[in-house]
Amino acid sequence: MTSREWFEKAQKENFAIGAFNVDNLEIFKGILMAAKNKNSPVMVEYKIPILLNLDHSKTVEDCRAAINQPGFDEVHFDGSSLDLEENVKSAKEVVSAAHSKGIIVEGEMDRLGGSSEVHEEQVDEAVIRQSYSDPKRAARFVEETGIDIFAAVFGNVHGTFPTQPDLDMALLTQIKGVLPDTFISLHGGSGIPAEQVKEAIKAGIVKVNINTELRIAYKDALVEKLGENPKEYKVYSFSPEISLAISAVVENKIDIFGSAGKV
């Protein structure tokens, strides 16, 4: 199945595909283990479908580089730092190049706050709200660019915070209402309570990006193993345990997203 067919299936059957960021081999192995155990597609071939995605690419050139080499199922052009007109112009270029190769395109109009870290300070919700996606602008952006997936901002942020902001489900419903034929993604999925993620999927989300929680699991597992073996310098010997820790997180997310058993 193609990436488009998988997202169509997700939309029809009311589940979401996890898009898990890969920092290193242990994380990659952990994602594969979880996907195989849960019989679930993931976005990142093994014996389960893996959709390879270029995430948060800031330039048309980087997107073209991915499009012109084998393997990529999706490219994500993040023009949120550009003014709307320049973002539209660049996204259209990416869409034209990608669609000619059968690759789908995710576009980003609004800048997502935070970073993929564990933040100790509270999130400034007033600042976050300034970046919320406007449904009318979103409809124009999608119509003028022809993107396949719209990266919506409705309370989601990169990273985890002491108190995670609530998702604005009413806004998500409005966005989906003006984009009935466009896939909607949720970036900054780490730290969001499971029930809110499930509600967002019911409202139309078909792709959820996870990064920070994988990094937390990696660090915690490594610190634990080093604590148990302070004189061990072959730290690569901890790789299997680290991958298992990653796998546990991914399996939990797959259950939340409802994608288990969809292969």
What residues are designated binding site for Zn(2+)? 56, 78, 108, 158, 187
Active-site residue among 23, 55, 134, 166? 55
Q: Is 55 a catalytic residue?
A: yes
C-alpha–C-alpha distance, residues 201 and 38, integer Å: 19
CA separation, residue 13 to residues 1, 105, 202, 262 (Å): 15, 22, 10, 9
Binding site for dihydroxyacetone phosphate, residues?
159, 188-190, 209-212
Binding site, residues?
56, 78, 108, 158-159, 187-190, 209-212
Q: Any idea which residue has 């199945």 for tokens?
A: 1
- Which residues are tagged catalytic? 55
